[in-house]
Structure 1
Amino acid sequence: MHLTREEVPHSIAVAIEDMRVQENGVVYIGAVIFVERDSQKGIIIGKNGAMLKEVGRLARQDIEALLGSKTYLELWVKVKKTGATGSMC
C-alpha cells in the first residue's frame, strides 16, 4: 500500500494461503493480494510486473528480518468484488 500511495487507498486485502518451512530451511509463503477492480489489479502488478516485484522484494526483506530466516514469497493478485456491506469478505 505504501508503494501505490493514493491509487489503491482502502481497496486491498492480503490472505496467506500457505506457510511452511521447506527441507532446505527456507520459509515458503504463498499469499494472495485481493483488490476490488481490474484496474486496481493492474496498478498492483505494474508494467511488466515491476510493482509486484518491488512489493514482494520489500515484503520479503521485512519477513526475513522478522523470522530470521531466508524466505521464498509467492504473490498472486486477484479481483474480489465487494459485498453489500462494502467489504471484500
Structure 2
Amino acid sequence: MKRSLLTTNPYLKDPQKREEAMARNIETSSAIEGIKIKRISITGCFVHADHITAHPRAKRSSRPRSYQSYGFRTKTILLIYFSNLNQLV
C-alpha cells in the first residue's frame, strides 16, 4: 500500500503550513462558487455568511428550479466536512 500524503508531501508535513494552506484553499475555492466563508481564528472553525448575494452583474439562472439550492447544499457539505476535519487534527 502507498504511503499517505502526510508522510510524502513536504508541504503537508509541517502542521502550521498545512493549516494555512488548507484555510486559504477552502476560502478561495468557496469564493469561486459564491460561498462566503471565513475562518474564526480563535477556534479554527469555518463559518459562512448569513446572506449570500450574487455578483452584481450576474443574470438570472437558466437552470431549473431544482438546481437553485445547489449553493446551500455545497455550503452545508463544506461546513460539515471541515468541522469534522478540525476534530481529527
TM beyond 0.5: no
Larger relative contact order (C-alpha < 8 A, sep ≥ 6)? 1
Q: Which has the larger radius of gyration?
A: 2
TM-score when normalising by structure 2? 0.30
**Structure whose residues are more often strand by fraction:** 1
TM-score when normalising by structure 1? 0.30
